[in-house]
A and B are shown apart, each in its own frame.
Chain A
């Protein structure tokens, strides 16, 4: 705040009241409003903006967090781009994202349609049941699912063998780990997305459907001409949030198969890689560079998704 505007205007000042002074007196008049909104901006400056700038600086340094920082040029980035482990982590993250997001959003849409049917009773009850996985901690979820996907005595293998199939050593295969992680993501987020789709469906005015019916439109036609276009912004929202979430998957593979991502590093995601390099191996400079690599990836991916979902409407 400080002491504002108490200095008298200099007598021989060439201009009458300067506009600047008006603005600052206006600001002073609203000092309480500024004070009320200031905590967010102060916190963001210290714990948001500064770390981002600092991470840019760190990404060009070699530093173990304790010793002397030395300038490292673009070596961190060069190492990142040539490290097969980094690309493996990128590939794993994208695969897990694809395995999980498509079935997840599709199931959520189906659940929302079922719940939206006019005669469904106990709708609240169903919504709570479907939403419950979403408030459960990821660590707990990962522990429970590790017993379901366990190599030898897992529940899933019991089901497999009781149908006469051979048991699968899920956690010894890259794809097995990725399926297990994807399944956890699906399980946790179907209800959340279904609830959002349901609200979207209910916000479409029923007049539109009645008018379409009078004009002789079939159910499928009104789905593609009314439901889908009206839901598109909401679908876009869920695609973007699940992209951001999917790029940041960490807890599920870390608890399920450990810091190295398990057999053949199948569960090594980008954030797990970042965590390992920065906080287990203490490569702080390199960890910052990986953070920026991830940021670029998320940005590219979000733009790509946005284009795809936008394009869908022209079908």
Chain B
């Protein structure tokens, strides 16, 4: 009785897992096939032999490495800036008292309610006024300090950075910035690694804003380039699919390395808020 229940339970879990993972397998299979094979009926469910051919045609039709470097640059710059500004602010909120602190923090939380799409048009107009349309600045600078990250770091710093350690640092003559950089930052590392991964993944996958901002093909990020490939090469689908595979792989590999901790942190973050 109990054993059959267990079997049922595992069967349910595995069925769900197959649904989750199958599209990745399907993507990989299609990337090894020619376009007629992709559209053949019944569909080919096992790997073919045209992977390198498809990939080389991706390289011919777009400057893939430039696109990849653009994406890496935007995602890395966003991540570093977010980590710096959010940790500095979050740690300050956690460990110092100053007039108006409570209200400033409430204000910070309230800004999370403001929906981004509401200001899509005026944000674009502002970028145009700054001359940032078509520039990576428009993708990096507006988001380089955000309420969620400051909240996240503050929660972590409150419990993990000992006030005695900061006092000792002060006695030893550490200034405000040294206390942050040399003493607190190393302690905040676990919270930083989650915030960093979260920011990086978000920046890597961002689509709507880069689609509006990036006007020059040479500045395209992977998502924008992929969508434009999908719009142009409607008859050469194996090329589009191979491009999709190339765009997805780097992030999946990165995610597999950090996944265990990342998933626990996602859950912890949701439960705290």
Contacts and interface: CB of A to CB of B under 8 A. Distances in A.
Q: Do A and B truly interact?
A: yes
A153 B26 contact: no
Interface stretch (A2-10, A49-57, A77-85, A173-181): A49-57
Interface in A131-146: 131-133, 135-141, 143-145
A86 B22 CA distance: 36
A65 B23 contact: no
Given A144-B23, A187-B19, A274-B120, A137 B205 contact: yes
Contacts of A250: 207-208
A120 B271 contact: no
A152 B255 CA distance: 35
B205 A138 contact: yes
B106 interface: no
Interface string A184-222: 000100111001101110010000000000000000000
Contacts of B21: 129, 132
Contacts of B201: 135
A190 B16 CA distance: 10
B252 A132 contact: yes
Nearest to B81: A39
Contacts, number: 256
B242 to A, nearest CB: 11
Interface residues of A, number: 91
A153 B42 CA distance: 8
Interface stretch (B55-63, B142-150, B159-167): B142-150
A199 B23 contact: no
A58 interface: yes
B13 A120 contact: yes
A42 to B, nearest CB: 8
Contact of A284 (B93, B121, B177): B121
Contact of B144 (A39, A124, A288): A39
A127 to B, nearest CB: 5
Nearest to A154: B43
A223 to B, nearest CB: 16
A40 B43 contact: no
A128 B263 contact: yes
A191 B104 CA distance: 35
Contacts of B30: 147
24 contacts: A36-B180, A43-B144, A50-B126, A51-B122, A54-B122, A54-B125, A55-B118, A58-B122, A119-B6, A127-B263, A133-B20, A136-B205, A138-B207, A140-B247, A140-B248, A143-B241, A147-B30, A147-B237, A155-B43, A237-B270, A251-B208, A274-B117, A274-B120, A279-B212
Given A51-B119, A158-B42, 7 more contacts: A43-B141, A54-B119, A55-B121, A137-B204, A143-B230, A143-B240, A278-B121
